[in-house]
Amino acid sequence: MTDGILDAAHPLLDEIAARLDGSGRTIAVAESLTAGKIASHLGAAPSSSTWFAGGVVAYTNEVKYSVLGVERGPVVTARCAEQMATGVARLTGADIAVAVTGVGGPGPEEGKEAGTVYIGACAGARSTTEHHQLDGGPEEILAKTTLRALTLLLEMIPTGPDHVGRARP
């Protein structure tokens, strides 16, 4: 089931690469729930060495707090996802960043049921967060989260003059 979900990632990755290649823009990811799956997909995309700055797998709360600068407290929240995105952008110098946090399952965490996902993204002064309640087992939740994070990342990449002050050639 997850292979079918992640097959949909290939056109997204191709479009991300097309928008970023030669633009001078870079992207980064911060992952908790997905434990590096998003970074792995981005690293395998065409020309990624020119636009993928890197990522942080912040699986423990302490890494979120100490490395990404997330405020201490609950981490399955929209605020945490936003702070993870801005933290990894700051850490890597990336123009655009996406971050995910949530509960993969099978049981609840922080009083939130499995499938609770928060995705944050930032590009310059713009930032956004999304909340999703996904169904399926842990592997399916991770695959769906990866796909949704790549979709949001693509939405944050400008196709013309952007908020970072660069124009696409």
**Coil vs helix vs strand at 29:** strand
The domain that holds 20 is classified in CATH as 3.90.950.20
CB 162 within 8 A of CB 21: no
Q: For residue 16, what are the contacts with CB-CB under 8 A and spacing of at least 6?
A: 27, 42, 45, 150, 153, 154, 157
CB 161 within 8 A of CB 124: no
Q: Report pTM.
A: 0.92
What is the reported pLDDT for 169? 32
Q: What is the pLDDT of residues 25-39, one digit of tens each?
A: 999 999 999 999 999
Cα separation, 85 vs 100, in Å, equals: 8
Report yes or no on 8 lying in a domain. yes
Name the residue range of residue 60's domain: 2-106+114-156
Report yes or no on 167 lying in a domain. no
Beta bridge partners of 131: 118
Q: Which amino acid is at 150?
A: L
Report yes or no on 169 lying in a domain. no
Q: What is the pLDDT of residues 102-124, one digit of tens each?
A: 999 999 999 999 999 999 999 99
Report yes or no on 162 lying in a domain. no
Cα separation, 36 vs 113, in Å, equals: 22
Report yes or no on 62 lying in a domain. yes
Report yes or no on 163 lying in a domain. no
Total tally of structural domains belonging to the chain: 1
Report yes or no on 65 lying in a domain. yes
